[in-house]
Amino acid sequence: MTAADRSAGKPSTVLGRQLGDELRRLREAAGMTTGDVAGELDCTKGKVSRIENGRVAVRAPDVLAMLRSYGVDADSDKARQLVTLARQANRRRRSGWWNKFGPVLIDTYRDYIELEAMAEGVRTFQAQLVPGLLQTAEYSRAVTVASKAWQTPDEIERFVQVRMARQKRLRAETPLSVWAVLAEGVLHQRVGGPAVMRGQLEHLLDLAQLPHITVQVLPFTRGAHSGMFGPYVVLSFPQAAAMDVVLTETPIGQFWQEREPEVARYQALFDDARTSALPPTESLALISRVARENAE
């Protein structure tokens, strides 16, 4: 994750989307439009749409006001469930460990970390860099310095600390599942010099021994492939109603993809990447060989 366009679209949170989806279903069942609801709440139609898309925090009184408009009893189990969901979503936004890192995190990256913290799985294709979740501190520091997005030693070090904090999920009691497909060029780009690169490649080999981490390499010999158009990350979540979301990186910034057709396209792209890549065993053999070359 690099410093990119600060205006890139924010994602909805998983809990916020669940709440919004349920509120939308109840509104439609009541035969009301977003304009009708806006009139009841004395707000804009845009705010109602953002609530239903999970893109803004929603206070419990607003949830109850919407439910009254839809004919849902405030003392019902449904009302209690949705109010609890709103409070959980808001608490998640306020209490994440990442908030203490403040200004070193651009908005898109902070949103990504929030979603990653709730995710159960990450699938990613990378053409230039080792994914942040799999980076060593030395590799991460070299990448951060090269980005020129952070100027002072303190900013650089705090950003590296964020990367290391994210990686705690890999060793948690219920660990984050990671499946990474790397273009072969990632192995040969000597980020930080030969010693740092060898340490990074050996770190990949160690992580790949964990049952919930898969690393594959897409070799140069495969020629043209669908991943040549840019890196992306697909996040999946344990909640049954939660859809995958995708973060893409382009020359003009980072963008979230949440619409089902767009997400499905990236799911298909990843399937193509993993089937085109070397099998995990052969991939690790290649990583090991390149690591030895960095010792020469």
pLDDT at 233: 95
Reported confidence tier of residue 11, pLDDT bands at 50, 70, 90:
low
The structure tokens listed for 239 are 């909640």
> What pLDDT digit, counting tens, does each position of 130-189 carry?
999 999 999 999 999 998 887 788 999 999 999 999 999 999 999 999 999 999 999 999
pLDDT at 92: 66
The structure tokens listed for 191 are 């980020």
| Better pLDDT: 238 or 199 | 199
User: What's the DSSP call for residue 125?
Assistant: E
The rounded distance, in Å, linking the Cα atoms of 18 and 63 is: 13
In this predicted structure, the answer to whether residue 96 has a pLDDT above a threshold of 70 is: yes
14-95: CATH topology is 434 Repressor (Amino-terminal Domain) (1.10.260)
> What pLDDT digit, counting tens, does each position of 207-239 carry?
999 999 999 999 999 988 877 888 999 999 876
- Taking CA atoms, 152 is separated from 100, 107, 143, 192, 282, in Å, by 18, 20, 14, 18, 41
In this predicted structure, the answer to whether residue 103 has a pLDDT above a threshold of 60 is: yes
Domain ranges for the chain: 14-95, 100-293
Q: Give the CATH number of domain 100-293.
A: 3.30.870.10
The region of weakest confidence among 53-57, 109-113, 152-156, 190-194 is 53-57
Strand pairing of 121-126 and 232-236? antiparallel
Reported confidence tier of residue 85, pLDDT bands at 50, 70, 90:
confident
Burial of 46 (0-12, 13-18, 19+ CB in 10 A): exposed
Q: pTM of the entire structure?
A: 0.80
